[in-house]
Amino acid sequence: MLSLGMDIGSTTSKCVLMNGERQLLAMALVVAGIGTQGPEQAAAQLLENAQTRWEDIDVITATGYGRLRYERAQHQVSELTCHALGTSWLFPQARTVIDIGGQDVKILSLGPEGRLLNFVMNDKCAAGTGRFLDVMANILQLRIDDLGPCAMQAERAAVISSTCTVFAESEVISQLAAGVARNEVIAGICESVAAKTASLAKRLPIRADVVMSGGVARNEGVRRCLEKHLEMPILHAPQAQYTGALGAALYGLKAAG
Number of residues binding to ligand ADP, judged by CB under 6 A? 22
Site for ligand ADP in 74-93 (CB under 6 A): none
Taking residues 102 to 121 in sequence order and writing x for each that binds ligand ADP by CB under 6 A, - otherwise, the string is: xx------------------
Does 134 participate in binding ligand ADP (rule CB under 6 A)?
Answer: yes
Does 219 participate in binding ligand ADP (rule CB under 6 A)?
Answer: yes
Does 38 participate in binding ligand ADP (rule CB under 6 A)?
Answer: no
Site for ligand ADP in 190-209 (CB under 6 A): none
Member of 5, 38, 64, 114 binding ligand ADP (CB under 6 A): 64
Does 9 participate in binding ligand ADP (rule CB under 6 A)?
Answer: yes
- Rounded least distance, CB 70 to ligand ADP, Å: 14
Distance, CA of 151 to CA of 144 (rounded, Å):
12
Taking residues 166 to 185 in sequence order and writing x for each that binds ligand ADP by CB under 6 A, - otherwise, the string is: --------------------
- Rounded least distance, CB 13 to ligand ADP, Å: 8
Phi then psi for residue 86, to 5 deg, are -65, -40
Does 39 participate in binding ligand ADP (rule CB under 6 A)?
Answer: no
Binding segment toward ligand ADP, per CB under 6 A, in 18-26, 49-57, 109-117, 141-149: 141-149
Beta carbon nearer to ligand ADP, 1 or 224: 224
Phi then psi for residue 20, to 5 deg, are -65, -20
SS3 labels along the chain: CEEEEEEECCCCEEEEEEECCCCEEEEEEECCCCCCCHHHHHHHHHHHHHCCCHHHCCEEEEECCCHHHCCCCCEECCHHHHHHHHHHHHCCCCCEEEEECCCCEEEEEECHHHCEEEEEECCCCCCCCHHHHHHHHHHCCCCHHHHHHHHHHCCCCCCCCCCCHHHHHHHHHHHHHCCCCHHHHHHHHHHHHHHHHHHHHCCCCCCCCEEEECHHHHCHHHHHHHHHHHCCCEECCCCHHHHHHHHHHHHHHHHCC
- Rounded least distance, CB 237 to ligand ADP, Å: 13
Does 128 participate in binding ligand ADP (rule CB under 6 A)?
Answer: no
Taking residues 148 to 167 in sequence order and writing x for each that binds ligand ADP by CB under 6 A, - otherwise, the string is: x-------------------
Residues that bind ligand ADP (CB under 6 A): 9-12, 33, 64, 101-103, 130-131, 133-134, 144-145, 148, 214-216, 218-219, 241
